Amino acid sequence: MNNPEEELELHLRPRATETVSIKIPTDTLRSLEKVAASQDMSPEGLLKLLLGRVYGKI
C-alpha cells in the first residue's frame, strides 16, 4: 500500500484551448449543474471529464 507520508507530485502539461459554444436544452443544463454541484465541480469541469472519458486525453 502507499505510504500516507509520501509526497505526491502532480504533473500538468499545458495545452492550447479554444472556446466553443453549444446549445443545450435548459432542463439538461439544470441537470448537469445539479450533478456537477453534487461532485463539487463546475458544469464546465464535468463536461470536460465526461468528454475525456468518451474520447480520452482531455
What is the mean pLDDT of each successive set of 10 residues along the chain, which is 58 residues long?
Answer: 70 87 96 97 94 79
Q: What is the pTM of this model?
A: 0.65
pLDDT at 56: 78
CA terminus-to-terminus distance, the chain:
29
Q: Residue 8 falls within a domain, yes or no?
A: no
Select from 53, 25, 51 the least CA-distant residue to 17: 51
Q: What is the largest CA-CA distance in the chain?
A: 46
In this prediction, residue 2 carries a pLDDT of: 61
Residue 15 maps to a domain:
no
Note whether residue 44 is domain-resident.
yes
Q: Is residue 6 in a domain?
A: no
Q: Which pLDDT does position 13 carry in this prediction?
A: 82
Question: Do the domain assignments include residue 49?
Answer: yes
The count of domains in the chain is: 1
